[in-house]
Each structure stands twice: as structure tokens, then as C-alpha cells.
């Protein structure tokens, strides 16, 4: 009932035929419009999926695969898998998959498959998760978010001498697409960033929905990733990684989270009730 009410408030009774626009790499027109939940210029993610290489042991940051609610990569806001050390992961090709599933319950599922061993590790946030996945219904105390309308792909190979991040997006299914070709690059510390010329070794792409397609439909973003770093992978962990974040452009439609949507609905209902009783509602001071 709450979700139906939210769709009615948004003026949508059923999934509409919209498009997901694929941007050119590091399109500044998209980046500068994005909502920044922490107020920091460079942090636009509402939730995210991350793969990096760590050789640490005995701590949360020993993990390599994360599904994160918000911007804090901590045990309270993340679920994670330890995939090995730098000797296991560096220069190893993985297939990645980010899914939004609705059948059996709504969830986000992040899977990584080692293409050499065919071993798959999955993280799942929400309902109806695969029993083999590391899963949680609530992450940071909340179910999978709805108040997003875009996906941000960010590839980094920064400051670590001899490192690289090779990423190819192979498919995006479940939605209609238009715009640029999928990201397919090898990023190194010498590659200049296009948004910040001084921010070498970081590249990315956005997939922005001009309707509510990403919220109302099942979809899957898939590709290949190979992270290479010749160091011990004990420090500067996020300097070589792929991060895929759920983001929001305030200029595009999105479904608000239930609490704010229900408050808005109650407020509109109260105004209609007062108007129906002949009570004047002033539009100004």
C-alpha cells in the first residue's frame, strides 16, 4: 500500500516506457547536477558496490567486495566478502553483475565471478536473496533505497605505481537505453581525468533514467574487471578499484523513500480535508 501511494504521489500508476541515457565518459554536465548526500563535492553516492584489492588480515578492511548503504564503508553500513590477497586478485579477470530484483522480494545483488576458477561471490541487500549470497534485509537500518534515478560507474588506478584497472561494461538489460557506447577502458595513473584535469587515474560513466525505470523494473548491469597492482595492497586500498554507485539527479523523476513520501501524502490529504470544509488556505504571508 505504501509503495502504491508513493507512485500515485509521483503521478505514475504503472511502469512507464522511459529511457536510461548512457553518458560519455566523465560527462561534467551529469556530474555537477548530482545530489551530494554528505555535502562534499566529490561524494555523490547514495549506496554503492565496490571491488578492490586488499592484503590486510583480521579486520573489516581486509575485504575486497562491498555492498554499501550510504558513504560509510563500515560494518554497520556494509556487507562484504574477503576474496583473497594481492597474489590472488591482482591481474585476475572477474565478471561483475549488479542486479535490481523484484521477484520474491526487492533486492540489490552484487556478484563477482573469478573467470579462472568460476567461483562466484554474491552480496545481497533486501528480500528474496539467493541462499548462497552473503545477505541482509536491512543495511544501515534501512531496506534497499528507492530515491535514486541513476548509476555511476567509477574506475580508479591512482598513485600506485604500475597499477591499472581494466573495465568493460558488456550489457545493461531490463531497461531501454540510448546515448553513448558502454565504458571500455584501461585506466592507469597517467590517464588524465576529464572532470578534474589534476585528478589523474580516475574515469567513469553514468546511466541516468529519464523516468522511473531503474526503480520500477528489474535490471542488470554486467561487465568485466581486472585490477592490477604490484605493491603489497596494504595501504591506499581505494586507489585501485571499481565503484558502482546509485545516484540521484534532482532534475529527473525518482520515488522518494517511504517516510518522506508518506509525510507528503498526509500533508496533501490534510490540505484537501481543510479545503473541503471551507477553510481558506493562504498561499503567501
Closest CA to 164 of 107, 104, 228: 228
Residue 235 maps to a domain: yes
Residue 31 lies in a domain: yes
For range 22-48, the mean pLDDT: 93
Cβ contacts of 270 within 8 Å, gap of 6 or more: none
Question: Per-residue pLDDT averaged across 34-54, rounded?
Answer: 95
Does residue 260 carry a pLDDT above 90?
no
Q: What is the pLDDT of residues 69-106, one digit of tens each?
A: 998 899 999 999 999 999 999 999 999 999 999 999 99
C-alpha cell belonging to residue 120: 562466484
Q: Residue 262 domain-assigned?
A: no
**Residue 278: inside a domain, yes or no?**
no
Please give the pLDDT value at position 194.
73
Query: Quick check: is 17 in a domain?
Result: no
Number of folded domains in the chain? 1
* Structural domain includes residue 11: no
The answer as to whether 284 is a domain residue is no
Per-residue pLDDT at 6? 36
pLDDT class of 193 with cuts at 50, 70, 90: confident
Q: Is the model's pLDDT at 42 over the cut of 90?
A: no
pLDDT in tens, 9-19: 333 334 344 58
Q: Would 263 be classed as within a structural domain?
A: no
pLDDT at 198: 77
Domain hosting 56: range is 27-252
CATH number reported for the structural domain that contains residue 174 in this entry = 2.60.120
Write down the pTM of the prediction.
0.84
Residue 259 — pLDDT band, cuts 50, 70, 90?
A: low
Over 70: is that where the pLDDT of 275 sits? no
Q: What is the mean pLDDT of residues 37-45?
A: 91
> Mean of the pLDDT values across residues 200-212?
95
Amino acid at each position: 500500500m505504501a509503495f502504491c501511494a508513493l507512485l500515485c504521489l509521483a503521478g505514475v500508476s504503472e511502469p512507464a516506457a522511459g529511457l536510461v541515457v548512457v553518458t560519455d565518459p566523465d560527462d561534467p554536465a551529469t556530474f555537477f547536477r548530482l545530489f551530494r548526500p554528505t555535502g562534499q563535492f566529490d561524494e555523490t553516492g547514495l549506496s554503492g558496490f565496490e571491488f578492490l584489492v586488499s592484503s590486510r588480515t583480521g579486520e573489516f578492511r581486509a575485504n575486497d567486495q562491498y555492498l554499501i548503504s550510504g558513504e560509510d564503508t563500515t560494518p554497520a553500513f556494509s556487507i562484504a566478502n574477503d576474496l583473497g590477497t594481492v597474489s590472488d586478485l591482482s591481474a585476475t579477470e572477474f565478471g561483475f553483475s549488479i542486479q535490481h530484483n523484484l521477484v520474491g522480494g526487492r533486492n540489490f545483488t552484487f556478484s563477482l565471478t573469478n573467470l579462472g576458477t568460476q567461483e562466484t561471490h554474491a552480496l545481497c541487500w533486501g528480500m528474496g536473496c539467493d541462499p548462497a549470497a552473503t545477505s541482509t534485509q536491512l543495511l544501515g537500518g534501512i531496506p534497499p533505497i528507492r530515491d535514486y534515478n541513476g548509476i555511476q560507474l567509477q574506475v580508479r588506478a591512482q598513485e600506485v605505481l604500475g597499477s591499472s584497472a581494466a573495465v568493460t561494461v558488456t550489457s545493461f538489460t531490463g531497461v531501454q537505453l540510448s546515448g553513448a557506447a558502454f565504458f571500455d577502458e584501461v585506466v592507469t595513473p597517467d590517464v588524465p581525468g576529464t572532470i578534474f584535469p589534476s585528478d589523474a587515474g580516475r574515469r567513469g560513466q553514468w546511466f541516468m533514467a529519464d523516468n522511473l525505470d531503474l526503480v520500477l523494473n528489474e535490471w542488470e548491469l554486467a561487465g568485466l574487471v581486472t585490477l592490477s597492482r604490484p605493491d603489497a595492497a596494504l595501504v591506499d586500498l581505494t586507489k585501485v578499484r571499481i565503484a558502482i554507485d546509485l545516484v540521484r539527479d534532482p532534475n529527473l523523476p525518482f520515488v522518494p523513500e517511504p517516510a518522506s513520501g508518506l509525510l507528503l501524502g498526509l500533508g496533501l490529504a490534510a490540505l484537501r480535508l481543510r479545503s473541503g470544509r471551507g477553510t481558506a488556505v493562504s498561499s503567501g504571508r
